[in-house]
Structure 1
Amino acid sequence: MKTLSKARISAIGTYVPEKRLTNEDLEKIVDTSDEWIVQRTGMKERRLTSEQEFTSDLCIKAVENLQNRYPGALDGLDMIIVSTTTADYAFPSTACQIQDHFGWTDIGAFDLNATCAGLTYGLHTANGLITSGLHRKILVVAGESLSKVTDYTDRTSCVLFGDGAGALLVERDDSSPSFITFVQGTKGDGARHLYRTGLRSDLKGEELAGAGKMVQNGREVYKWAARSIPEGIKLLLEQAQMKLEDIDWFVPHSANMRMVESICEKAGIPVEKALTSVEWFGNTSSASIVLALDEAVKHDKLKEGDTLILYGFGGGFTYTGLLAKWGVSASGK
């Protein structure tokens, strides 16, 4: 059964830092090669923040990009939701920093942390708040400075991560809502395979490595994602009473191109229908989906009215999949 929605995705903006980290650059840092990285991940380069550039800076520039492309779109904004695992501070939230920068008043602002599923969690939350009638216009921002928490001595993981941010506007629309249905779940016992330490250094009695850097068991993450996401896609389609042929684009978290290819194969989705950002931006966690969407917009692939499966998944383990209509027009109206 289709879920009730009265919210539409109506505008998009993105930003990535200027600094590039190529595979050739990584060859000088760790024992790796361009061939090895491309073969296993599909990645060619990533963008990295400068020493004095942080997640709030990326998010603000993504919002400014949205404003420039869709003048007046943020008038009447009444909530900011930011997805990030790499906030500048424990508090204040990145959302509060965005509010302060733009000087918006009478507006709510909070961060959420669902790691690489953060963008879809944020969209799901915004849809619920708007459909319930509590809010009318919500800015959902995803931003990450993963380079600041990457262990560049770990040759298996340091090749993966990059920095970037994106923003999507979700607003009330009773006649042309975006959101059709969703799947969501958590597998908390997988947390030991992907984590970054915080105030404690153990997890359920287990001693953890990392010292503030990301630690990933890529093989276990890969196995979980390749197994569970095709099942989630099947459930999304069943709930919406739709078929794979009805889907224009599959937009998964761009963790690793080989993982995306495996998911597509198991789900029966032609890989040509997958929108990704992994080749030139690496794994940008919660920002990867919105970066992929905007790349498709800029290359005139993604059109208003296209039917999408947006599927975020990551540390926790947690995931949210959304079946949605792309509601952004070329003019921003």
Structure 2
Amino acid sequence: MNIRSVIRGVGAYLPERVLSNDELSKTVDTSDEWIRQRTGIARRHIAAANETTTDLACSAALRALEHAGISVDEIDLVILATTTPDNTFPATATRVQARLGITAGPAFDIQAVCTGFIYALTQADNMIRLGQAKCALVIGAEIYSRILDWEDRGTCVLFGDGAGAVVLKAENGNGAEAGRGVLSTTLGADGRYYDSLYVDGGPATTGTAGFVRMQGKEVFKHAVERMSSLVAGLLEDQGLTTDDLNWLVPHQANVRIINKVGEKLNVPPEKVIISVEEHANTSAATIPLAMNHAVERQLFKPGDLLGLTAMGGGFTWGAALIRW
């Protein structure tokens, strides 16, 4: 039997508090015009003091389950991509599992920064194909506001808090829905660029959470090249071209990177999903947030080909082709 993992539902959650560019400009040397021109970001959501990554993840997961019409009793795998776990251990995914009332299968975190959701999706897809799971919750959830230096305008304007989730279910690829689902994925990393985007803390170094530090020009250059070449490579492997791509769903780092990736792939702007204006860079949560953005607007049609792509600290990178 040809088993394929199909996306059955998508969900998202953004914290109630909204921090606009104008409000941010009152505490750091910046302006709405400066931020919009360089990033395309208008606002970001900030988690409440008593909100945890678990809270955000569960809210997004419940919405994904509702959209899928699937009960928690069917879930037998929970993978949470996050850079901001509730605790050093156990994995935040286990807390999400317990709170949702899921009692079957494994639950674990994946840490690949902005590529985290693609890493998690790939792992879930592989486990489903191997018969190790039948129905998975794949979540990206972050509270970056807790690891930002709010006096560093080079980073604090870029990030926000949020969560997105998808429900992946095993389907017979030879049946009525033949062709649907995750077609292929690819992952990579190069630790030589570790210091280009990192957090200057951790339990084994400073004993503190630390703050995000970034070499912006280095990240920009590598992000554009990696994110575009990954999608092109996956399409070629499938005997497809960018003309076959209905939607490009890139990591929502900033609009300049997104536009450059689209240009390198020759994907028309109207086929590129952009949601960064509303929530800024939410790291592992941006791709499912962008997918939810598209689903809410009924953009994805059955049979559409989606190209997901991301690059994050490490450097890490990954991409996926999905038939909707």
TM-score, normalised by the number of residues in structure 1: 0.91
Q: Identify the residue that residue 190 of structure 1 maps to in structure 2.
A: 193
For residues 287 and 248 of structure 1, the distance between their equivalents in structure 2, rounded to whole angstroms, comes to 22
Q: Identify the residue that residue 141 of structure 2 maps to in structure 1.
A: 143
For residues 151 and 5 of structure 1, the distance between their equivalents in structure 2, rounded to whole angstroms, comes to 46
Q: Identify the residue that residue 262 of structure 1 maps to in structure 2.
A: 260
SS in 2 for 1:67: helix
SS in 2 for 1:99: helix
1:26 alignment partner AA:
L
Q: Identify the residue that residue 206 of structure 1 maps to in structure 2.
A: none
For residues 287 and 60 of structure 2, the distance between their equivalents in structure 1, rounded to whole angstroms, comes to 14
**After the TM superposition, which residues 307-326 of structure 1 pair with which residues of structure 2 at under 5 Å, given as runs?**
307-326=305-324
1:72/1:236 Cα in 2 relative to 1: closer, same or farther (>3 Å)? closer
**After the TM superposition, which residues 1-333 of structure 1 pair with which residues of structure 2 at under 5 Å, given as runs?**
6-175=4-173, 176=177, 177-196=180-199, 197-201=201-205, 212-326=210-324
For residues 233 and 76 of structure 1, the distance between their equivalents in structure 2, rounded to whole angstroms, comes to 32
For residues 70 and 319 of structure 2, the distance between their equivalents in structure 1, rounded to whole angstroms, comes to 30
TM superposition shift of 1:71: 3.4
For residues 34 and 229 of structure 2, the distance between their equivalents in structure 1, rounded to whole angstroms, comes to 30
SS in 1 for 2:36: helix
SS in 1 for 2:127: helix
Check the 8 A contact 2:231/2:308 in 1, yes or no. no
TM superposition shift of 1:73: 4.2
For residues 54 and 72 of structure 1, the distance between their equivalents in structure 2, rounded to whole angstroms, comes to 25
TM superposition shift of 1:82: 0.5
1:272/1:135 Cα in 2 relative to 1: closer, same or farther (>3 Å)? same
Q: Percent identity?
A: 38
**How far does the alpha carbon of each residue in 1:83-122 deviate from its partner, in whole angstroms, 9 at most, with x for none?**
0000110112111111111222233111110111111111
Check the 8 A contact 1:5/1:178 in 2, yes or no. no
For residues 211 and 55 of structure 1, the distance between their equivalents in structure 2, rounded to whole angstroms, comes to 15
SS in 2 for 1:261: helix
**How far does the alpha carbon of each residue in 1:205-257 deviate from its partner, in whole angstroms, 9 at most, with x for none?**
xxxxx971111111110011122222222211110100111100000100010
For residues 104 and 296 of structure 2, the distance between their equivalents in structure 1, rounded to whole angstroms, comes to 33
1:6 alignment partner AA:
R
TM superposition shift of 1:131: 0.4
1:105/1:200 Cα in 2 relative to 1: closer, same or farther (>3 Å)? closer
For residues 123 and 78 of structure 2, the distance between their equivalents in structure 1, rounded to whole angstroms, comes to 11
For residues 273 and 3 of structure 2, the distance between their equivalents in structure 1, rounded to whole angstroms, comes to 24
Which is further off, 166-175 or 73-82?
73-82
For residues 99 and 127 of structure 1, the distance between their equivalents in structure 2, rounded to whole angstroms, comes to 19
Check the 8 A contact 2:8/2:166 in 1, yes or no. yes
For residues 232 and 164 of structure 2, the distance between their equivalents in structure 1, rounded to whole angstroms, comes to 28
SS in 2 for 1:286: helix
Which is further off, 246-255 or 233-242?
233-242
For residues 76 and 247 of structure 2, the distance between their equivalents in structure 1, rounded to whole angstroms, comes to 30
TM superposition shift of 1:5: 5.5
SS in 1 for 2:277: helix
Check the 8 A contact 1:276/1:288 in 2, yes or no. no
1:255/1:173 Cα in 2 relative to 1: closer, same or farther (>3 Å)? same
Check the 8 A contact 2:93/2:109 in 1, yes or no. yes
Check the 8 A contact 1:277/1:289 in 2, yes or no. no
CA RMSD in angstroms, aligned pairs only = 1.6
SS in 1 for 2:156: coil
SS in 2 for 1:165: strand
Check the 8 A contact 1:297/1:303 in 2, yes or no. no
Report how many aligned residue pairs link the two structures.
Answer: 316
TM superposition shift of 1:201: 4.1
For residues 232 and 69 of structure 1, the distance between their equivalents in structure 2, rounded to whole angstroms, comes to 29
Q: Flag structure 1 segments of 5+ consecutive residues without an equivalent.
A: 203-209, 327-333
TM superposition shift of 1:312: 2.1
TM superposition shift of 1:311: 0.7
